[in-house]
């Protein structure tokens, strides 16, 4: 039986990356997709038709066992997450995601799941390696000695270790990607859990449409980041799932910009310019976060194909349509 005719479970299908992964699997010809998310259906980033959509809280062990029954492969993207502002204020809630990881791994072992993918994060990396703006990119081995981002980062690092030990002791096939700032259409763009790409797009749109002259920026704008467009993320995810690499792998872009430069790009897309009010008391995250892609390039010949400018233009246009539809009191535009 072809793998595409076996059941594939996407845990966290209510979120940005998970919902896009479901749509991508459908496009590839997978015929039995089980999409699971904890949020009510109306709050899903996307609810893809023609798949088995299930609303369940995967922190519950019995729920994990039920959805994993008969499954060939699992993409585990379910966790409590959000932008830096949310993560810094909800450390305990983020740590509770370890229940999802624990119970899903146990369910995968019990039901003889053949492949298990875990979406980790660049938040696992040592804080001390993310202070020098001129420092090198983060390599996979830089996660140890461990000094992860408090709350969210520690949960991700611990769940990585569980995957490793389930593989070593029980023979469960596990693969791990460390995502770096994934963005694109369908990402969360308001409500307090959005990432910086969506937040900047929304702020520029709000200012432009409301005739404002200024936008608020968290920090001094000199924080440095790399951003990964969703299509590149999905391609890398499939490559890692089917790769021989047993250790966590960076999945990010090497194109690096400051927050100020990110705003410059979005303003140029919008055809406008604003003053910037820097809020030095707001959460700003680490000084620098960039991916070293040596391993994924060498082993899987993967590198991003979408430039930051092109990806931001697609993202800005989508958020603009969503914003204007909401302001008119109509339904969001699914495009």
333 located within any domain: no
Which DSSP symbol is given to 181? -
pLDDT confidence of residue 153: 92
37 with 178, same domain? yes
Q: Which domain holds residue 123?
A: 3-182+229-251
Give domain status of residue 189, yes or no: yes
Based on the domain organization, do 122 and 196 belong to the same domain? no
Domain at 208, CATH number: 3.90.25.10
Per-residue pLDDT at 160: 98
What pLDDT score does 1 carry?
A: 60
Q: Are residues 68 and 176 in the same domain?
A: yes
Residue 54 lies in a domain: yes
Number of domains in the chain: 2
Say if residue 195 is in the same domain as residue 102. no
Give me the CATH number covering residue 74: 3.40.50.720
Is the same domain home to 140 and 265?
no
**Which of helix, strand or coil describes residue 180?**
coil
Q: Are 33 and 10 in contact (CB under 8 A)?
A: yes
Collect the ranges in the chain with pLDDT lower than 50. Answer: 333-335
- Looking at the structure, do residues 48 and 77 belong to the same domain, yes or no? yes
The answer as to whether 268 is a domain residue is: yes
Examine residue 300 and state whether it is found in any structural domain, yes or no. no
Residues 157 and 262 in one domain: no
Structure tokens at 184: 């694109």
Q: Tell me whether residue 190 is in a domain.
A: yes
Q: Are 98 and 156 in contact (CB under 8 A)?
A: no
Torsion sign across C-alpha atoms 293, 181, 203, 222: negative
Cβ contact 181:225 at 8 Å: yes
Check whether residue 238 and residue 268 sit in a common domain. Answer: no
- Residues 194 and 313 both lie in one domain: yes
Give yes or no: residues 216 and 233 share one domain. no
Q: Per residue, what are the HEC states of 184-244? A: CCCCCCCCCCCCHHHHHHHHHHHHHHCCCCEEEEECCCCCEEECEEHHHHHHHHHHHHCCC
One-letter-per-residue 3-state SS of 81-149: CCCHHHHHHCHHHHHCHHHHHHHHHHHHHHCCCCEEEEEEEHHHCCHHHCCCCCCCCECHHHHCCCCCC
pLDDT, position 157: 97
Same-domain pairing of 198 and 68: no
Whether 301 is covered by a domain: the verdict is no
Task: Name the catalytic one among 125, 152, 229, 323.
Answer: 152
- Regarding whether 202 and 162 lie in a shared domain, the answer is no
Residues 228, 253: contact at Cβ < 8 Å? yes
Instruction: Determine whether 173 is an active site residue.
Output: no
pTM of the predicted model over 0.85: yes
């Amino acid at each position: 039986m072809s793998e595409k005719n076996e059941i594939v479970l996407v845990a966290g299908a209510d979120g940005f990356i998970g919902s896009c992964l479901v749509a991508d699997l459908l496009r590839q010809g997978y015929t039995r997709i089980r999409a699971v998310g904890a949020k009510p259906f109306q709050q899903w980033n996307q609810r893809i038709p023609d798949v088995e959509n299930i609303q369940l809280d995967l922190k519950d062990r019995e729920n994990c066992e039920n959805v994993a029954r008969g499954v060939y492969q699992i993409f585990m993207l379910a966790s409590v997450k959000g932008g830096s502002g949310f993560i810094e204020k909800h450390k305990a809630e983020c740590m509770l995601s370890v229940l999802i990881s624990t119970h899903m791994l146990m369910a995968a072992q019990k039901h003889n799941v053949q492949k298990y993918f875990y979406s980790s994060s660049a938040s696992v990396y040592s804080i001390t390696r993310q202070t020098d703006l001129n420092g090198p990119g983060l390599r996979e081995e830089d996660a140890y000695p461990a000094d992860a981002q408090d709350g969210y980062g520690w949960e991700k690092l611990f769940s990585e270790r569980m995957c490793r030990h389930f593989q070593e002791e029980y023979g469960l096939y596990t693969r791990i990607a460390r995502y770096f700032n994934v963005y694109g259409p369908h990402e969360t763009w308001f409500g307090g859990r959005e990432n910086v790409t969506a937040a900047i797009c929304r702020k520029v749109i709000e200012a432009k449409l409301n005739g404002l002259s200024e936008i608020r920026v968290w920090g001094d704008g000199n924080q440095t980041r790399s951003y990964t467009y969703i299509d590149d993320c999905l391609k890398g995810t499939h490559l890692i799932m089917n790769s021989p690499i047993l250790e966590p792998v960076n999945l990010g872009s090497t194109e690096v910009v400051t927050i100020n430069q990110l705003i410059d790009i979005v303003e140029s897309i919008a055809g406008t310019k604003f003053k910037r009010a820097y809020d030095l008391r707001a959460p700003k995250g680490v000084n620098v976060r960039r991916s070293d892609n040596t391993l994924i390039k060498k082993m899987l010949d993967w590198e991003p194909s979408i430039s930051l400018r092109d990806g931001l233009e697609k993202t800005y246009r989508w958020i603009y349509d969503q914003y204007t539809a909401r302001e008119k009191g109509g339904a969001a535009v699914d495009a």
